[in-house]
Chain A
């Protein structure tokens, strides 16, 4: 209809030409059932998702919960300046980046490897069994997972027992794994892999099913063995999915998770387990320093947003599917 060269319109379409507020309201009344079915949730959305953005203002105030908005003192960038001079904030930032980096690399490598290995299994019953078992930890809560991980790593847990049996450590010298700060990142990485590796293979296995079987047959004729076929056909077949997921994860670099660090963290490993989310929680909720905590939260959201746009642009340049 917007095409000016369009042939004469049928009379029925003519009224649409004078689209305006009047017609809009008329339509709204006509479609009132649909309006009643969706507008209440638009209000819900506004209250719960958009309204908190207004709460960002308290990062620029010395917020006192008892006072009204008009009575708050405005302090400009004070809290942000404090953050960027705070040693603790930098340690927290380091931990966040380290853990999300570990998670990213380990997560990708293990999931891709497992998908490759699963794809080589011919017995379908066995393949399905492995899949079902490996999905299990994904569905349980981090609380349950943390409880299980804690008892596995405890001084009388199975890991210490194995180390004793194998003669690596003597009885009575059990290692307090979660008490060693510098080991926390490794424990975190291993726990995340244990919980998510099976689940993460789903998308890769789906990508593998899209590969043309003729390619394998051709490679076989050319004398390519099992490993060569995995390396030269299956892996490149997964490449588009891998690239898209990698890009998506760049936007999550500051999202190193909250639950595992909070649940497995303790006084002995706090220097390595405390990340941005825990920092916000401790300052905000525990110490009632809402303004500083909000500043930390804003920092995280803004950086993530920028990273996401950056990633999206990279994807566009590379000619891969964009995310939005």
Chain B
């Protein structure tokens, strides 16, 4: 959409170039005041959006004891990697990082592949169960069993304290299904027919013809899913909180938050330090929290510029038929 916007702007600018140009240059005083105010406002908005991130980053690279004195804003005063060394020497955090990565990778691959497979079957016009499967999926958009029945189901299935609880319940999203189906239906029918003539069966056609052609839409779904998987913490809390080996980074950060919530003020720092948990003055709850926040956010910050492009496009595709 951002692309469409620029294109339209570009076209507008080129078609009415002369007239437009003149009207900008000769813009009235009121116009110029408006522009200045607008730019100033948007710059302030960017600062407000970014400052908390930058500040957290600065604190995470600043000496822990020094941070407590306050006054660290956008740049570390007393550089150190101590916080990161401490965090990654914790067995729990290391394990949580591995689980976070695993659930993101496995969850994304499974979701993308299986969603594409089901989407392919319901895009085949001649498939007898096409309507039935589509409606069965779409209906679930309008209701849900709710927290407790789902929890009891997961418990009865024996998925509590298991890695697979991260994968199974959210395996196929209806939105993903609709987006991929619309994309497949937009592919030229002749491509699939030619595969048929060459003797390929449905599965072969799906794997070697349809899947490669769907890469753009699958990238969108993959990025969506990966962000969802990486950011999830509630399922860890609900199902696996008693098994620390299955914890994730987001959940570890949530536990830190919950701790500081309980004490709710800076006395949290003292409590932590005196509990022996901190082991030395090298780290404090403040510095650990900032560091964990950055660790949990960095993968997202690194991929989101790509996300932006794909996801915006994907939203358009889904919007057409959704």
Contact = CB atoms under 8 A, between A and B. Distances in A.
Interface of A: 24, 27-28, 31, 33-35, 37-39, 41-42, 44-56, 58, 65, 114, 117-118, 120-122, 124, 126, 128-137, 139-144, 146-152, 154-156, 158, 161, 176, 178-179, 194, 198, 202-203, 205-206, 208-209, 213, 217, 220, 225-227, 258-259, 263, 265-268, 277, 280-281, 284-285, 290, 293-294, 297-298, 300-301, 305, 308, 324
B149 A136 contact: no
B274 interface: no
A154 B266 contact: yes
B266 A136 contact: no
A177 to B, nearest CB: 11
A130 B42 contact: yes
Nearest to A290: B148
A278 to B, nearest CB: 10
Contact of A56 (B48, B145, B234): B145
A144 B297 contact: yes
A90 to B, nearest CB: 20
Nearest to A137: B49
Given A131-B2, A134-B49, A151-B290, 12 more contacts: A48-B153, A48-B168, A50-B140, A55-B145, A120-B38, A134-B45, A134-B46, A139-B304, A141-B230, A147-B56, A217-B16, A226-B34
Interface of B: 1-2, 4-6, 8-9, 12, 15-16, 23-24, 28, 30-31, 34-35, 38-39, 41-42, 45-46, 48-53, 55-56, 59, 70, 73, 114, 117-118, 120-122, 124, 126-129, 133, 136-137, 140, 142-153, 157, 168-169, 171-172, 201-203, 206, 227, 230-234, 238, 250-251, 253-254, 256-257, 260-262, 264-266, 286, 289-290, 292-293, 296-297, 300-301, 304-305, 307-308, 312, 315-316
Contacts of A263: 254, 257
Q: Is the interface of A mostly helix, strand, loop or mixed?
A: helix
Given A44-B172, A52-B146, A226-B31, A130 B5 contact: no
Given A31-B127, A45-B140, A297 B293 contact: no
B301 A33 contact: no
Contacts of B145: 49, 51-53, 55-56
B148 A148 contact: no
B121 A141 contact: no
A141 to B, nearest CB: 3
A47 B150 CA distance: 10
Contact of B257 (A129, A147, A155): A147
B254 A132 contact: no
Given A33-B203, A198-B49, A206-B4, A259 B146 contact: no
Contacts of B301: 136, 139-140
B308 A135 contact: yes
Contacts of B49: 133-134, 136-137, 194, 198
Given A33-B203, A55-B149, A144-B296, A133 B118 contact: no
Contacts of B296: 141, 143-144
A148 B34 contact: no
Given A48-B153, A135-B308, A225 B31 contact: yes
> Which 5 A-B pairs have CB atoms at the shortest separation, nearest pair first?
A52-B145, A55-B149, A297-B146, A141-B231, A52-B149
B152 A55 contact: yes
Nearest to B296: A144
B101 to A, nearest CB: 15
A126 B39 CA distance: 9
A305 B23 CA distance: 52
B2 A128 contact: yes
A143 B96 CA distance: 15
Contacts of B286: 151
A176 B297 contact: no
B39 A297 contact: no
Contact of B38 (A56, A117, A266): A117
A158 B70 contact: no
Nearest to A133: B46
B56 A151 contact: yes
A130 B46 contact: yes
Nearest to A179: B264
Contacts of A48: 150, 153, 168-169, 171
Contacts of A308: 142
Given A52-B144, A206-B4, A301-B143, A178 B264 contact: yes
Contact of B51 (A158, A258, A301): A158
A300 B114 CA distance: 31
Contacts of A155: 265-266
B257 A143 contact: yes
Contacts of B55: 151-152, 158
13 contacts: A31-B202, A41-B118, A48-B153, A54-B149, A124-B6, A140-B297, A144-B296, A179-B264, A194-B49, A206-B5, A206-B316, A225-B28, A284-B147
Contacts of B149: 52-56, 58, 294, 297
Contact of B148 (A42, A45, A294): A294
**Which of A142, A147, A202 counts the most B-chain CB atoms under 10 A from its CB?**
A147
Contacts of A142: 231
